[in-house]
Amino acid sequence: MELKADSTIGFIGLGVMGKSMARNLLKAGYKVVAYTRTKEKALDILDEGVVWLESPETLAKKADIIITMVGYPSDVEQIYLGENGIVHMSRQGTFLIDMTTSTPTLAKKIYSESKKKGLYVVDAPVSGGDIGAREGKLSIMVGGDQEVFDTLQPVFQVLGSNIVYQGSAGAGQHTKMCNQIAIASNMLGVCEAVVYAEKAGLDPTTVLQSISSGAAGSWSLSNLAPRMIGGDFSPGFYIKHFIKDMTIALNEAEQMGMMTPGLALAKSLYEKLAEQGEEESGTQALYKYWQ
């Protein structure tokens, strides 16, 4: 098992994060071919050298490594296991890397079906948002076979700075659920802290200077609170996708007999925002709940 020096990487899903990830792979010297449902949104990266292909099926036949970064588990299942899915269409020995946040159950199913076809697959969801994707500093949580993880290190190192093997198939997705559970309650605290500062007549930016580096410090406090204060609610990560992630986490926790009251509350507040038309906003738009 080895990566070819001139490997072609197929990238499916050129959204907020996927486009930056594909761009970094291109800059690292890989040949990148891509498919995304809305070609018009990818024209800039096509001008930079990424080659457009008309379907996942066509991409599967040309790529040595396929990375998927799409929206929902239903998209993942269709792309991998549908009638013309990449599990059925890829050449034997192809590496498949699903970096979408999806369900552990689906990750295990894709792993099982891929093994039958002689394919190497890992679930490798990421954290770090648009900033991490752009800077190649994502946290990458990987489930699958250790040997496959080791072989794919050169690719992962282009995309991330914190790359951890978590265990067998599905372990990457379970780890991402831990990540999302921690973020969900943290975002409540970040929003409440900013609003409290404003209502107390303080300058919230100055308040952040004191609390961001102390015990209250977090990625969300350092990176998303300034966006809230500045009125920037553009998506580094969509509310609609965060609701999807929280739903997966709640379902998995329920199956394990675990109570997650913080997660449930965060999901309910985000769902209210979505109902008000904020589902395309970034997760920092939770701040608007207090407005």
Residue 1 above 80 pLDDT?
Answer: no
Q: Catalytic site residues?
A: 176
pLDDT of residue 4: 84
Same domain, 138 and 185: no
Q: Please, are residues 50 and 20 in contact by the beta-carbon 8 Å criterion? A: no
pLDDT per residue as tens digits for the range 191-240? 999 999 999 999 999 999 999 999 999 999 999 999 999 999 999 889 99
pLDDT confidence of residue 117: 96
Say what the pTM is: 0.93
Q: Is the same domain home to 140 and 180? A: no
Determine how many CB atoms are found less than 10 A away from the CB of residue 137.
Answer: 13
Q: What is the pLDDT of residues 148-173, one digit of tens each?
A: 999 999 999 999 999 999 999 999 99
Note whether residue 2 is domain-resident.
Answer: no
Q: Per-residue confidence at 136, pLDDT binned at 50, 70, 90? A: very high
**Strand ranges, E, within 135-264:** 138-143, 160-167
158 with 259, same domain? no
Q: 266: domain range?
A: 175-290
Domain boundary among 168, 193, 226: 168
Same structural domain, 183 and 158: no
CATH number at residue 57: 3.40.50.720
Same domain, 115 and 161: yes
Tokens encoding 89:
């269409």
Structure token pair of residue 74: 């239903």
Residue 129 is predicted with a pLDDT of 86
Cβ-defined contacts of 142-145 (< 8 Å, 24+): 142/166, 142/171, 142/172, 143/104, 143/107, 143/167, 143/168, 143/169, 143/170, 143/171, 143/172, 143/173, 143/174, 143/175, 144/111, 144/120, 144/168, 144/169, 144/172, 145/120
Mean pLDDT of 27-36: 95
The per-residue pLDDT for 160 is 98
Per-residue confidence (pLDDT) for residue 42, from 0 to 100: 85
pLDDT digits (tens, 9 = 90+) for 54-75: 999 999 999 999 999 998 999 9
Domain count, the chain: 2
Last-in-domain residue among 110, 143, 168: 168
3-state secondary structure of 280: coil
The verdict on 40 and 161 lying in the same domain is yes
What percent of the chain has a predicted confidence (pLDDT) above 90?
92
Specify whether 162 is located in the same domain as 249. no
* Mean pLDDT estimate for the chain: 96
The answer to whether residues 150 and 178 touch, using CB atoms and an 8 Å cutoff, is: no
Same domain? 61 vs 163: yes
- Is 70 in a helix, a strand, or coil? coil
pLDDT at 187 over 80: yes
Going by C-alpha positions, the residue among 276, 278, 275 that lies closest to residue 239 is: 278
Judged against a pLDDT cut of 80, whether residue 120 lies above it is answered with yes
Boundary (domain end) residue, out of 101, 133, 168: 168
In this structure, the answer to whether residues 162 and 30 fall within a common structural domain is yes
d(CA 277, CA 127): 25
Residue 68: the pLDDT is 98
Percent of the chain beyond pLDDT 70? 100
